[in-house]
Amino acid sequence: MDDDLTVRVAEATDIAAVGGLDARITGLAKPDYWRGTFARYGARPDRYFLIAETGGRVLGFIIGEVRAWEFGSPPSGWIFAIGVDPEHRLKKIGSRLFAAVCRRMGEDGVRTVRTMLARDDALNMAFFRSQGMMGGPFIQLEMGLASARLGAVNVKA
Protein backbone atom coordinates (compact mmCIF):
# COMPACT_ATOMS: atom_id res chain seq x y z
CA MET A 1 0.00 0.00 0.00
CA ASP A 2 2.85 2.44 0.71
CA ASP A 3 3.69 2.62 -3.00
CA ASP A 4 0.24 3.78 -4.08
CA LEU A 5 -0.50 6.13 -1.17
CA THR A 6 -0.71 9.77 -2.24
CA VAL A 7 -0.58 12.77 0.08
CA ARG A 8 -2.08 15.86 -1.50
CA VAL A 9 -3.90 19.11 -0.77
CA ALA A 10 -7.57 18.57 0.08
CA GLU A 11 -10.22 19.52 -2.44
CA ALA A 12 -13.86 20.41 -1.86
CA THR A 13 -14.85 16.99 -3.21
CA ASP A 14 -12.96 15.36 -0.30
CA ILE A 15 -15.06 16.90 2.44
CA ALA A 16 -17.74 14.19 2.55
CA ALA A 17 -15.05 11.49 2.81
CA VAL A 18 -13.15 13.40 5.52
CA GLY A 19 -16.38 13.93 7.46
CA GLY A 20 -17.26 10.25 7.10
CA LEU A 21 -13.81 9.18 8.29
CA ASP A 22 -14.02 11.55 11.27
CA ALA A 23 -17.50 10.20 12.13
CA ARG A 24 -16.13 6.63 12.13
CA ILE A 25 -13.28 7.70 14.42
CA THR A 26 -15.22 9.94 16.83
CA GLY A 27 -18.75 8.56 16.58
CA LEU A 28 -20.04 12.06 15.75
CA ALA A 29 -21.23 13.28 12.35
CA LYS A 30 -20.26 16.96 11.86
CA PRO A 31 -20.88 17.84 8.18
CA ASP A 32 -21.26 21.59 8.83
CA TYR A 33 -18.00 21.64 10.80
CA TRP A 34 -16.10 19.97 7.95
CA ARG A 35 -17.55 22.29 5.31
CA GLY A 36 -16.56 25.28 7.44
CA THR A 37 -13.11 23.84 8.13
CA PHE A 38 -12.47 23.38 4.44
CA ALA A 39 -13.63 26.94 3.76
CA ARG A 40 -11.13 28.24 6.35
CA TYR A 41 -8.19 25.92 5.65
CA GLY A 42 -8.48 24.58 2.11
CA ALA A 43 -5.75 25.93 -0.20
CA ARG A 44 -5.05 29.14 1.73
CA PRO A 45 -1.66 30.64 2.59
CA ASP A 46 -0.22 29.50 5.94
CA ARG A 47 -3.01 26.93 6.28
CA TYR A 48 -2.70 23.26 5.49
CA PHE A 49 -5.37 20.64 4.82
CA LEU A 50 -3.80 17.48 3.44
CA ILE A 51 -5.34 14.16 2.44
CA ALA A 52 -3.84 10.67 2.23
CA GLU A 53 -5.54 8.50 -0.35
CA THR A 54 -5.10 5.33 -2.30
CA GLY A 55 -7.23 4.16 -5.18
CA GLY A 56 -9.43 7.25 -4.80
CA ARG A 57 -10.24 6.35 -1.17
CA VAL A 58 -9.43 8.87 1.57
CA LEU A 59 -7.53 7.04 4.33
CA GLY A 60 -6.43 10.02 6.39
CA PHE A 61 -6.16 13.77 6.78
CA ILE A 62 -4.16 16.36 8.69
CA ILE A 63 -4.94 20.04 9.22
CA GLY A 64 -2.80 22.84 10.57
CA GLU A 65 -1.87 26.47 10.28
CA VAL A 66 0.84 28.97 11.08
CA ARG A 67 0.09 31.08 14.13
CA ALA A 68 2.29 34.03 14.96
CA TRP A 69 3.19 35.80 18.16
CA GLU A 70 0.54 34.48 20.54
CA PHE A 71 1.89 34.91 24.06
CA GLY A 72 5.34 35.87 22.79
CA SER A 73 5.82 32.77 20.63
CA PRO A 74 7.50 33.32 17.26
CA PRO A 75 5.53 32.05 14.25
CA SER A 76 5.00 28.32 14.59
CA GLY A 77 3.02 25.57 12.95
CA TRP A 78 0.03 24.16 14.77
CA ILE A 79 -1.55 20.83 13.94
CA PHE A 80 -5.10 20.74 15.21
CA ALA A 81 -6.62 17.73 13.47
CA ILE A 82 -5.39 14.35 12.26
CA GLY A 83 -7.31 11.22 11.47
CA VAL A 84 -6.46 7.87 9.94
CA ASP A 85 -8.93 5.16 8.99
CA PRO A 86 -8.81 2.70 11.91
CA GLU A 87 -8.61 -0.23 9.46
CA HIS A 88 -5.39 1.25 8.02
CA ARG A 89 -3.54 2.32 11.14
CA LEU A 90 0.03 1.12 11.72
CA LYS A 91 0.76 1.51 8.01
CA LYS A 92 2.65 4.84 8.36
CA ILE A 93 -0.24 6.89 6.92
CA GLY A 94 -0.25 9.27 9.88
CA SER A 95 3.54 9.51 9.75
CA ARG A 96 3.46 10.40 6.08
CA LEU A 97 0.79 13.04 6.66
CA PHE A 98 2.77 14.48 9.58
CA ALA A 99 5.99 14.56 7.53
CA ALA A 100 4.18 16.22 4.61
CA VAL A 101 2.60 18.98 6.70
CA CYS A 102 5.90 19.59 8.54
CA ARG A 103 7.74 19.80 5.21
CA ARG A 104 5.21 22.32 3.87
CA MET A 105 5.36 24.38 7.07
CA GLY A 106 9.16 24.33 6.95
CA GLU A 107 9.11 25.55 3.35
CA ASP A 108 6.97 28.45 4.60
CA GLY A 109 9.59 29.40 7.20
CA VAL A 110 8.22 27.62 10.27
CA ARG A 111 10.87 26.24 12.65
CA THR A 112 8.63 24.75 15.37
CA VAL A 113 5.48 22.64 15.13
CA ARG A 114 3.02 22.33 18.01
CA THR A 115 -0.21 20.58 18.87
CA MET A 116 -2.48 20.27 21.89
CA LEU A 117 -4.08 17.06 23.15
CA ALA A 118 -6.37 15.92 25.90
CA ARG A 119 -4.38 14.28 28.69
CA ASP A 120 -6.26 11.02 28.25
CA ASP A 121 -5.86 10.86 24.45
CA ALA A 122 -3.36 8.02 24.58
CA LEU A 123 -3.63 7.17 20.88
CA ASN A 124 -2.70 10.63 19.60
CA MET A 125 -0.20 11.20 22.41
CA ALA A 126 1.65 8.03 21.40
CA PHE A 127 1.51 9.01 17.74
CA PHE A 128 2.88 12.53 18.19
CA ARG A 129 5.58 11.36 20.58
CA SER A 130 6.61 8.72 18.04
CA GLN A 131 7.09 11.58 15.58
CA GLY A 132 9.55 13.25 17.96
CA MET A 133 7.22 15.75 19.65
CA MET A 134 7.50 16.42 23.38
CA GLY A 135 6.23 18.86 25.98
CA GLY A 136 6.83 22.48 25.02
CA PRO A 137 7.39 25.71 26.93
CA PHE A 138 3.71 26.68 27.31
CA ILE A 139 1.04 25.49 29.73
CA GLN A 140 -2.58 25.40 28.64
CA LEU A 141 -5.02 26.85 31.20
CA GLU A 142 -8.80 26.78 31.18
CA MET A 143 -11.88 27.74 33.19
CA GLY A 144 -15.48 26.67 32.86
CA LEU A 145 -17.66 29.73 32.31
CA ALA A 146 -20.74 28.20 33.95
CA SER A 147 -19.05 28.30 37.36
CA ALA A 148 -16.97 31.45 36.87
CA ARG A 149 -17.48 34.52 39.04
CA LEU A 150 -17.20 37.18 36.37
CA GLY A 151 -19.15 40.02 37.94
CA ALA A 152 -20.83 42.81 36.05
CA VAL A 153 -18.89 44.33 33.18
CA ASN A 154 -20.11 47.03 30.83
CA VAL A 155 -18.80 46.59 27.30
CA LYS A 156 -19.49 49.31 24.79
CA ALA A 157 -19.98 48.24 21.18
pLDDT digits (tens, 9 = 90+) for 111-143: 999 999 999 999 999 999 999 999 998 888 888
pLDDT band at 105, cuts 50/70/90?
Answer: very high
Kindly list the domain boundaries of the chain, sorted by start residue.
2-147
Task: Looking at the structure, give the CATH architecture of the domain made up of residues 2-147.
Answer: 3-Layer(aba) Sandwich (3.40)
pLDDT at 108 over 80: yes
Contact 78, 112 (CB under 8 A): no
Give the C-alpha separation, 31 to 102, whole Å. 27
Give the mean model confidence (pLDDT) for residues 85-106: 96
Contact 95, 85 (CB under 8 A): no
Q: What's the pLDDT score for residue 7?
A: 97
